[in-house]
Amino acid sequence: MGFRKKNKSPPVLSHEFVIQNHADMVSCLAMIILLGLMFEVTAKFAIMFITVQYNVTQVLEDKSEPVNLYQYGPKDVATVFFYLLIAVILHALIQEYILDKMNRRLHLSKTKHSKFNESGQLAAFYLFSFIWGCSILTAEDFAINPTFLWEGYPHTHMVFQVKFFYICQIAYWLHALPELYFQKVRKEDIPRQLYYICLYVVHITGAYVLNLHRLGLVLLVPHYLVELLFHASRLFYFSDENKQKGFTLWALLFVIARLLTLTLSVLTFGFGLPRTGNQGFSLAEGNFNVLTIRMTCLAAICLTQAWMMWKFINFQLKKWREHSQNQASKKKVVSPKSKPHKREPARGGAANGVVKSEDKTSPRARKAKAS
Protein backbone atom coordinates (compact mmCIF):
# COMPACT_ATOMS: atom_id res chain seq x y z
CA MET A 1 0.00 0.00 0.00
CA GLY A 2 0.97 3.59 -0.48
CA PHE A 3 1.96 5.79 2.47
CA ARG A 4 3.59 2.78 4.17
CA LYS A 5 7.20 2.69 5.25
CA LYS A 6 9.07 -0.31 3.90
CA ASN A 7 12.34 -1.66 5.25
CA LYS A 8 13.33 -3.23 1.96
CA SER A 9 12.38 -1.62 -1.34
CA PRO A 10 11.58 -3.88 -4.30
CA PRO A 11 13.07 -3.21 -7.78
CA VAL A 12 11.84 -0.01 -9.39
CA LEU A 13 8.79 -0.43 -11.67
CA SER A 14 8.35 -4.05 -10.63
CA HIS A 15 4.88 -5.34 -9.76
CA GLU A 16 5.59 -5.21 -6.05
CA PHE A 17 7.00 -1.67 -6.34
CA VAL A 18 3.86 -0.44 -8.14
CA ILE A 19 1.56 -2.15 -5.64
CA GLN A 20 3.38 -0.73 -2.61
CA ASN A 21 3.70 2.82 -3.99
CA HIS A 22 0.64 3.18 -6.23
CA ALA A 23 -1.00 5.77 -3.95
CA ASP A 24 2.15 7.93 -4.01
CA MET A 25 2.28 7.73 -7.82
CA VAL A 26 -1.38 8.65 -8.13
CA SER A 27 -0.92 11.53 -5.68
CA CYS A 28 1.90 12.92 -7.84
CA LEU A 29 -0.31 12.72 -10.93
CA ALA A 30 -3.15 14.52 -9.17
CA MET A 31 -0.73 17.22 -7.97
CA ILE A 32 0.49 17.76 -11.53
CA ILE A 33 -3.10 18.39 -12.63
CA LEU A 34 -3.64 20.81 -9.74
CA LEU A 35 -0.40 22.66 -10.54
CA GLY A 36 -1.75 23.21 -14.03
CA LEU A 37 -4.13 25.78 -12.55
CA MET A 38 -1.18 28.06 -11.76
CA PHE A 39 -0.24 28.69 -15.39
CA GLU A 40 -2.45 30.43 -17.89
CA VAL A 41 -1.45 28.12 -20.73
CA THR A 42 -2.47 24.94 -18.92
CA ALA A 43 -5.27 26.35 -16.75
CA LYS A 44 -7.97 25.76 -19.35
CA PHE A 45 -7.05 22.06 -19.52
CA ALA A 46 -6.64 21.64 -15.76
CA ILE A 47 -10.06 23.16 -15.08
CA MET A 48 -11.60 20.54 -17.36
CA PHE A 49 -10.32 17.81 -15.00
CA ILE A 50 -11.18 19.46 -11.70
CA THR A 51 -14.44 21.37 -12.11
CA VAL A 52 -17.84 20.22 -13.37
CA GLN A 53 -18.42 21.19 -17.01
CA TYR A 54 -21.39 22.18 -19.23
CA ASN A 55 -23.12 24.68 -16.96
CA VAL A 56 -26.21 26.47 -18.28
CA THR A 57 -27.90 29.49 -16.68
CA GLN A 58 -31.70 29.41 -16.67
CA VAL A 59 -34.51 31.35 -15.05
CA LEU A 60 -37.09 29.02 -13.50
CA GLU A 61 -40.75 29.90 -13.06
CA ASP A 62 -40.79 29.46 -9.28
CA LYS A 63 -37.53 31.40 -8.76
CA SER A 64 -36.85 35.01 -9.67
CA GLU A 65 -33.07 34.70 -9.78
CA PRO A 66 -31.25 32.73 -12.50
CA VAL A 67 -30.09 29.23 -11.55
CA ASN A 68 -26.97 27.41 -12.74
CA LEU A 69 -27.82 24.00 -14.14
CA TYR A 70 -25.59 21.39 -15.78
CA GLN A 71 -25.68 18.97 -18.67
CA TYR A 72 -23.40 16.08 -19.52
CA GLY A 73 -20.87 15.85 -22.33
CA PRO A 74 -17.57 14.32 -23.49
CA LYS A 75 -15.49 16.50 -21.16
CA ASP A 76 -17.00 14.65 -18.20
CA VAL A 77 -14.57 11.82 -18.98
CA ALA A 78 -11.68 14.03 -17.83
CA THR A 79 -13.54 14.97 -14.63
CA VAL A 80 -14.28 11.32 -13.90
CA PHE A 81 -10.60 10.48 -14.42
CA PHE A 82 -9.43 13.10 -11.91
CA TYR A 83 -11.86 11.99 -9.21
CA LEU A 84 -10.89 8.40 -9.93
CA LEU A 85 -7.38 9.41 -8.83
CA ILE A 86 -8.84 10.99 -5.70
CA ALA A 87 -10.75 7.78 -4.97
CA VAL A 88 -7.53 5.74 -5.20
CA ILE A 89 -5.82 8.08 -2.70
CA LEU A 90 -8.74 7.97 -0.26
CA HIS A 91 -8.87 4.18 -0.60
CA ALA A 92 -5.20 3.97 0.42
CA LEU A 93 -5.71 6.33 3.37
CA ILE A 94 -8.64 4.32 4.75
CA GLN A 95 -6.71 1.08 4.28
CA GLU A 96 -3.53 2.35 5.89
CA TYR A 97 -4.80 4.33 8.86
CA ILE A 98 -8.02 2.48 9.77
CA LEU A 99 -8.40 -1.03 8.36
CA ASP A 100 -4.79 -2.20 8.73
CA LYS A 101 -4.71 -1.12 12.38
CA MET A 102 -7.96 -2.98 13.07
CA ASN A 103 -6.64 -6.08 11.29
CA ARG A 104 -3.56 -6.18 13.53
CA ARG A 105 -5.77 -6.24 16.61
CA LEU A 106 -8.21 -8.88 15.33
CA HIS A 107 -5.60 -11.35 13.98
CA LEU A 108 -7.87 -12.58 11.17
CA SER A 109 -7.14 -15.39 8.73
CA LYS A 110 -6.26 -14.58 5.11
CA THR A 111 -9.80 -15.22 3.90
CA LYS A 112 -11.41 -13.09 6.61
CA HIS A 113 -8.69 -10.47 6.20
CA SER A 114 -9.62 -9.97 2.54
CA LYS A 115 -13.35 -9.80 3.27
CA PHE A 116 -12.78 -7.44 6.19
CA ASN A 117 -10.89 -5.01 3.96
CA GLU A 118 -13.58 -5.22 1.28
CA SER A 119 -16.40 -4.58 3.75
CA GLY A 120 -14.50 -1.76 5.44
CA GLN A 121 -13.95 0.11 2.19
CA LEU A 122 -17.50 -0.42 0.94
CA ALA A 123 -19.11 0.46 4.27
CA ALA A 124 -17.32 3.83 4.29
CA PHE A 125 -18.37 4.53 0.70
CA TYR A 126 -22.00 3.44 1.21
CA LEU A 127 -22.32 5.56 4.34
CA PHE A 128 -20.99 8.66 2.60
CA SER A 129 -23.11 8.09 -0.54
CA PHE A 130 -26.28 7.38 1.45
CA ILE A 131 -25.98 10.60 3.47
CA TRP A 132 -25.14 12.59 0.33
CA GLY A 133 -28.03 11.05 -1.63
CA CYS A 134 -30.51 11.72 1.18
CA SER A 135 -29.45 15.37 1.32
CA ILE A 136 -30.03 15.73 -2.43
CA LEU A 137 -33.45 14.07 -2.26
CA THR A 138 -34.45 16.30 0.63
CA ALA A 139 -33.26 19.49 -1.07
CA GLU A 140 -34.83 18.69 -4.44
CA ASP A 141 -38.07 17.13 -3.11
CA PHE A 142 -37.53 14.07 -5.31
CA ALA A 143 -39.41 11.64 -3.08
CA ILE A 144 -42.64 13.60 -2.54
CA ASN A 145 -44.45 12.57 -5.72
CA PRO A 146 -43.57 9.48 -7.81
CA THR A 147 -44.69 11.26 -11.00
CA PHE A 148 -41.67 13.51 -10.57
CA LEU A 149 -39.59 10.60 -11.87
CA TRP A 150 -40.95 10.94 -15.41
CA GLU A 151 -42.71 14.31 -15.67
CA GLY A 152 -40.88 16.72 -17.96
CA TYR A 153 -38.66 14.05 -19.50
CA PRO A 154 -36.00 14.37 -20.90
CA HIS A 155 -34.34 15.71 -17.75
CA THR A 156 -31.34 17.15 -19.52
CA HIS A 157 -30.52 19.71 -16.82
CA MET A 158 -29.19 18.87 -13.37
CA VAL A 159 -28.27 20.92 -10.35
CA PHE A 160 -24.62 20.90 -9.32
CA GLN A 161 -25.08 18.39 -6.49
CA VAL A 162 -26.78 15.83 -8.73
CA LYS A 163 -24.17 15.99 -11.47
CA PHE A 164 -21.26 15.92 -9.05
CA PHE A 165 -22.87 12.96 -7.26
CA TYR A 166 -22.97 10.96 -10.50
CA ILE A 167 -19.42 11.96 -11.43
CA CYS A 168 -18.15 10.70 -8.07
CA GLN A 169 -20.19 7.51 -8.27
CA ILE A 170 -18.84 6.58 -11.70
CA ALA A 171 -15.30 7.52 -10.64
CA TYR A 172 -15.47 5.37 -7.50
CA TRP A 173 -16.69 2.23 -9.24
CA LEU A 174 -14.16 2.64 -12.04
CA HIS A 175 -11.37 3.02 -9.47
CA ALA A 176 -12.43 -0.34 -7.98
CA LEU A 177 -11.15 -2.11 -11.12
CA PRO A 178 -7.43 -1.27 -10.70
CA GLU A 179 -7.81 -1.77 -6.94
CA LEU A 180 -8.28 -5.48 -7.63
CA TYR A 181 -4.63 -5.46 -8.71
CA PHE A 182 -3.35 -3.00 -6.12
CA GLN A 183 -4.97 -4.87 -3.22
CA LYS A 184 -3.80 -8.31 -4.40
CA VAL A 185 -7.32 -9.68 -4.36
CA ARG A 186 -7.41 -13.47 -4.40
CA LYS A 187 -8.16 -15.09 -7.76
CA GLU A 188 -11.28 -16.83 -6.47
CA ASP A 189 -12.70 -13.46 -5.29
CA ILE A 190 -12.02 -11.52 -8.50
CA PRO A 191 -15.04 -12.82 -10.55
CA ARG A 192 -17.49 -12.03 -7.75
CA GLN A 193 -16.17 -8.49 -7.33
CA LEU A 194 -16.01 -7.92 -11.08
CA TYR A 195 -19.69 -8.80 -11.40
CA TYR A 196 -20.97 -6.18 -9.00
CA ILE A 197 -18.44 -3.52 -10.04
CA CYS A 198 -19.48 -3.83 -13.70
CA LEU A 199 -23.17 -3.80 -12.74
CA TYR A 200 -22.70 -0.57 -10.82
CA VAL A 201 -20.78 1.08 -13.66
CA VAL A 202 -23.33 0.04 -16.31
CA HIS A 203 -26.43 1.02 -14.34
CA ILE A 204 -25.14 4.34 -12.96
CA THR A 205 -23.63 5.39 -16.29
CA GLY A 206 -26.83 4.35 -18.09
CA ALA A 207 -28.99 6.48 -15.78
CA TYR A 208 -26.61 9.41 -16.28
CA VAL A 209 -26.40 9.20 -20.08
CA LEU A 210 -30.10 8.44 -20.68
CA ASN A 211 -31.17 11.43 -18.55
CA LEU A 212 -32.77 9.14 -15.95
CA HIS A 213 -30.79 10.62 -13.07
CA ARG A 214 -33.93 11.18 -10.98
CA LEU A 215 -34.88 7.50 -11.07
CA GLY A 216 -31.28 6.42 -10.59
CA LEU A 217 -30.84 8.57 -7.50
CA VAL A 218 -34.10 7.38 -5.91
CA LEU A 219 -33.10 3.74 -6.48
CA LEU A 220 -29.51 4.13 -5.31
CA VAL A 221 -30.28 5.61 -1.88
CA PRO A 222 -32.28 2.65 -0.43
CA HIS A 223 -29.95 0.19 -2.14
CA TYR A 224 -26.91 1.81 -0.51
CA LEU A 225 -28.65 1.70 2.87
CA VAL A 226 -29.16 -2.07 2.57
CA GLU A 227 -25.57 -2.65 1.43
CA LEU A 228 -24.27 -0.44 4.24
CA LEU A 229 -26.14 -2.55 6.79
CA PHE A 230 -24.76 -5.79 5.31
CA HIS A 231 -21.11 -4.72 5.32
CA ALA A 232 -21.39 -3.13 8.76
CA SER A 233 -22.89 -6.38 10.07
CA ARG A 234 -20.05 -8.34 8.51
CA LEU A 235 -17.49 -6.08 10.19
CA PHE A 236 -19.11 -6.69 13.57
CA TYR A 237 -19.25 -10.42 12.83
CA PHE A 238 -15.51 -10.54 12.15
CA SER A 239 -14.82 -8.79 15.45
CA ASP A 240 -17.20 -11.09 17.37
CA GLU A 241 -18.88 -14.09 15.73
CA ASN A 242 -21.79 -13.91 18.19
CA LYS A 243 -22.92 -10.58 16.72
CA GLN A 244 -25.24 -11.75 13.92
CA LYS A 245 -28.44 -9.80 14.59
CA GLY A 246 -27.59 -7.27 11.88
CA PHE A 247 -27.89 -9.94 9.19
CA THR A 248 -31.54 -10.54 10.14
CA LEU A 249 -32.44 -6.87 9.68
CA TRP A 250 -30.41 -6.78 6.46
CA ALA A 251 -32.33 -9.77 5.04
CA LEU A 252 -35.66 -8.03 5.67
CA LEU A 253 -34.57 -4.71 4.17
CA PHE A 254 -32.94 -6.47 1.21
CA VAL A 255 -36.26 -7.96 0.09
CA ILE A 256 -38.08 -4.65 0.63
CA ALA A 257 -35.45 -2.79 -1.44
CA ARG A 258 -35.79 -5.29 -4.30
CA LEU A 259 -39.58 -4.87 -4.34
CA LEU A 260 -39.25 -1.09 -4.20
CA THR A 261 -36.79 -1.10 -7.11
CA LEU A 262 -39.05 -3.27 -9.27
CA THR A 263 -42.15 -1.21 -8.42
CA LEU A 264 -40.60 2.16 -9.26
CA SER A 265 -38.96 0.77 -12.42
CA VAL A 266 -42.24 -0.69 -13.73
CA LEU A 267 -44.08 2.54 -12.91
CA THR A 268 -41.48 4.66 -14.71
CA PHE A 269 -40.82 2.57 -17.82
CA GLY A 270 -44.19 0.82 -18.10
CA PHE A 271 -46.68 3.57 -17.22
CA GLY A 272 -44.99 6.94 -16.73
CA LEU A 273 -42.71 7.47 -19.74
CA PRO A 274 -45.11 5.97 -22.34
CA ARG A 275 -47.76 8.53 -21.33
CA THR A 276 -45.58 11.61 -21.56
CA GLY A 277 -46.09 13.89 -24.50
CA ASN A 278 -42.46 13.95 -25.61
CA GLN A 279 -42.04 10.63 -27.40
CA GLY A 280 -39.18 9.88 -29.77
CA PHE A 281 -35.43 9.48 -30.07
CA SER A 282 -33.10 12.48 -30.38
CA LEU A 283 -29.43 12.62 -29.37
CA ALA A 284 -29.36 16.40 -29.71
CA GLU A 285 -32.27 16.86 -27.30
CA GLY A 286 -31.22 13.98 -25.05
CA ASN A 287 -34.54 12.24 -25.59
CA PHE A 288 -34.49 8.42 -25.41
CA ASN A 289 -38.20 7.86 -24.80
CA VAL A 290 -38.79 5.02 -27.27
CA LEU A 291 -40.17 1.55 -26.64
CA THR A 292 -36.93 -0.28 -27.40
CA ILE A 293 -34.85 1.69 -24.89
CA ARG A 294 -37.58 1.60 -22.25
CA MET A 295 -37.94 -2.18 -22.47
CA THR A 296 -34.15 -2.65 -22.52
CA CYS A 297 -33.74 -0.60 -19.35
CA LEU A 298 -36.63 -2.36 -17.62
CA ALA A 299 -35.30 -5.79 -18.62
CA ALA A 300 -31.80 -4.90 -17.37
CA ILE A 301 -33.15 -3.80 -13.99
CA CYS A 302 -35.43 -6.83 -13.63
CA LEU A 303 -32.67 -9.27 -14.55
CA THR A 304 -30.30 -7.61 -12.10
CA GLN A 305 -32.86 -7.81 -9.30
CA ALA A 306 -33.55 -11.46 -10.13
CA TRP A 307 -29.82 -12.25 -10.04
CA MET A 308 -29.46 -10.48 -6.70
CA MET A 309 -32.42 -12.40 -5.25
CA TRP A 310 -30.92 -15.67 -6.48
CA LYS A 311 -27.62 -14.88 -4.77
CA PHE A 312 -29.52 -13.83 -1.66
CA ILE A 313 -31.53 -17.09 -1.49
CA ASN A 314 -28.38 -19.18 -1.95
CA PHE A 315 -26.66 -17.20 0.80
CA GLN A 316 -29.57 -17.75 3.20
CA LEU A 317 -29.73 -21.47 2.40
CA LYS A 318 -26.00 -21.80 3.04
CA LYS A 319 -26.35 -20.06 6.41
CA TRP A 320 -29.34 -22.27 7.30
CA ARG A 321 -27.37 -25.44 6.51
CA GLU A 322 -24.40 -24.27 8.57
CA HIS A 323 -26.72 -23.40 11.47
CA SER A 324 -28.39 -26.84 11.27
CA GLN A 325 -25.04 -28.61 11.27
CA ASN A 326 -23.86 -26.61 14.28
CA GLN A 327 -27.04 -27.39 16.20
CA ALA A 328 -26.73 -31.11 15.39
CA SER A 329 -23.12 -31.21 16.56
CA LYS A 330 -24.03 -29.43 19.81
CA LYS A 331 -26.80 -31.94 20.52
CA LYS A 332 -24.36 -34.84 20.14
CA VAL A 333 -21.96 -33.27 22.63
CA VAL A 334 -24.62 -32.37 25.22
CA SER A 335 -26.60 -35.67 24.99
CA PRO A 336 -26.45 -37.77 28.29
CA LYS A 337 -24.17 -40.80 28.41
CA SER A 338 -25.73 -44.23 28.21
CA LYS A 339 -26.12 -46.00 31.59
CA PRO A 340 -23.68 -48.92 32.20
CA HIS A 341 -25.16 -52.44 32.18
CA LYS A 342 -25.29 -54.33 35.51
CA ARG A 343 -22.73 -57.08 35.69
CA GLU A 344 -23.64 -60.51 36.97
CA PRO A 345 -22.36 -61.07 40.52
CA ALA A 346 -19.30 -63.27 40.76
CA ARG A 347 -19.57 -66.75 42.31
CA GLY A 348 -19.06 -66.56 46.02
CA GLY A 349 -19.92 -62.86 46.06
CA ALA A 350 -22.21 -60.95 48.40
CA ALA A 351 -25.19 -61.19 46.07
CA ASN A 352 -28.29 -62.95 47.37
CA GLY A 353 -26.94 -62.94 50.94
CA VAL A 354 -23.85 -65.01 50.22
CA VAL A 355 -20.72 -63.57 51.78
CA LYS A 356 -17.65 -63.70 49.64
CA SER A 357 -14.75 -65.48 51.32
CA GLU A 358 -11.41 -63.74 51.29
CA ASP A 359 -9.55 -67.08 51.70
CA LYS A 360 -8.16 -68.07 48.33
CA THR A 361 -6.92 -71.61 49.38
CA SER A 362 -8.52 -74.72 47.88
CA PRO A 363 -11.24 -76.68 49.81
CA ARG A 364 -8.95 -79.79 50.26
CA ALA A 365 -6.26 -77.59 51.88
CA ARG A 366 -8.84 -76.06 54.21
CA LYS A 367 -10.05 -79.58 55.36
CA ALA A 368 -6.47 -80.68 56.07
CA LYS A 369 -5.88 -77.55 58.06
CA ALA A 370 -9.06 -78.07 60.09
CA SER A 371 -8.13 -81.66 61.03
Virtual CA dihedral for 135, 136, 138, 140, nearest 10 degrees?
160
Q: With bands split at pLDDT 50, 70 and 90, how would you rate the model's confidence at 161?
A: very high
pLDDT value for 348: 46
Give bridge partners of residue 282 from the DSSP assignment. 287
pLDDT in tens, 200-248: 999 999 999 999 999 999 999 999 999 999 999 999 998 887 777 888 9
pLDDT value for 349: 45
pLDDT value for 277: 83
Q: With bands split at pLDDT 50, 70 and 90, how would you rate the model's confidence at 65?
A: confident
pLDDT value for 368: 53
pLDDT value for 325: 80
23, exposed or middle or buried, with CB in 10 Å at 0-12, 13-18, 19+? Answer: buried
- Single-letter residue type at 328: A
305, exposed or middle or buried, with CB in 10 Å at 0-12, 13-18, 19+? Answer: middle
365 pLDDT above the threshold of 70: no
66 pLDDT above the threshold of 90: no
Percent of the chain with pLDDT strictly greater than 70: 85
pLDDT value for 354: 47
370 pLDDT above the threshold of 80: no
Q: Which of 286, 293, 297 is nearest to 69 (CA)?
A: 286
pLDDT value for 245: 82
pLDDT in tens, 25-51: 999 999 999 999 999 999 999 999 999
pLDDT value for 216: 96
Give bridge partners of residue 289 from the DSSP assignment. 280
pLDDT in tens, 299-356: 999 999 999 999 999 988 988 888 788 777 777 766 555 445 545 454 444 444 444 4
- Single-letter residue type at 206: G
pLDDT in tens, 97-125: 999 999 888 888 888 888 999 999 999 99
pLDDT in tens, 248-296: 999 999 999 999 999 999 999 999 999 988 889 999 999 999 999 999 9
Q: Work out the average pLDDT over 54-60.
A: 84
- Single-letter residue type at 18: V
Q: Which of 57, 129, 121, 54 is nearest to 88 (CA)?
A: 121
